[in-house]
Homo-oligomer: A and B are copies of this chain.
Amino acid sequence: MTTAHALGARLRHLRKSRKLTLSALASLSGVAVSTISKIENGALSPTLDKVLRLADGLDLSIGQLIGEEQIDDHKSQPNSRLLPARADDGIVIDTQNYEYRYLCAELTNKRMVPIHARIKASGLQEFGPLERHGGEEFLIVLDGEIAVHTEFYAPIRLSRGESIYLDSTMGHAYVSVGDQEAEVCCICTEPLRVTVDGQRDHDSI
C-alpha cells in the first residue's frame, strides 16, 4: 500500500535528518529496533500505539509524522525575509467592484496577504452578491470614504484613517461613498481564488 510506504520513507527521512540511529530512536520511543526497521521498509503496517510512540520520540505530532500536518517552521526557525512594495509595484487585478493590487507578491508563503485596492462600486446593487471566503481580514481606508455592507450587521461608514476587522466567512462588500473612488489597504489571512468574469482564476483576496 502506498500510504504505508510513504510513512516508511517519511519516518526514515525524519530519523536521518536528526542523525538518529535505529537504536537511538528505539530508546527514545520505546519501539524495538527491528520494528522501526520494518516500518521504514514498508514491511509492516504499524499499530497506532507504535506510531504514537515514534511521534513522541521524534517530538512531533502524529499528523506531522504521518504527513497530514505541516511540520511548522514558523515558530522554531527564524526567517529573515523582507520585501518593500513601491508605489506602482504589485500584481494588478481588475474586477467589476475593485481594482486590486497585490503587494509584496514576490514574497511567497506569507501568513498574510496585503492588498491595495481602489473601490469602484458605489452602491450595493452595483456591487452584486456579497463576497465571502475563508479567514479574516483587516481593512484601513487610505483615501476617500467607504460603506461596509455585511451579511449580519447594519452598513458601516469608514473615512480616511479608519479601519475594520471582520471574519471573511461572513458575506461582505466595500463600496465607495461620495464622488471619488476610495482607496484602501486590505490584509487577509488566507488567499482566495477571486472571480473575474464569473470564472475563478486568480489567487486573490
Q: Which residues of A contact B (CB under 8 A)?
A: 1, 3-4, 7, 45-52, 61-63, 66, 68-69, 74-75, 78-87, 103-104, 107, 110-112, 114, 116, 132, 134-136, 138, 140, 142, 148, 150-153, 156, 158, 161-167, 169-170, 185, 187, 189
Contact = CB atoms under 8 A, between A and B. Distances in A.
Given A4-B49, A7-B48, A111 B82 contact: no
A152 B83 CA distance: 12
Chain A binding site: helix, strand, loop or mixed by DSSP?
mixed
Copies of this protein in the assembly total 2
Contacts of A148: 82, 84
Contacts of A142: 140, 142, 161
Contact of A138 (B61, B62, B81, B112): B112
A50 to B, nearest CB: 8
A147 B36 CA distance: 54
Nearest to A137: B112
Query: Which of A1, A103, A111 has most chain B Cβ within 10 Å?
Result: A111
B110 A165 contact: yes
7 contacts: A1-B49, A61-B68, A62-B66, A80-B152, A80-B169, A82-B153, A103-B165
A184 to B, nearest CB: 11
A80 B170 contact: yes
Given A62-B63, A185-B163, A151 B80 contact: yes
Contacts of A153: 82
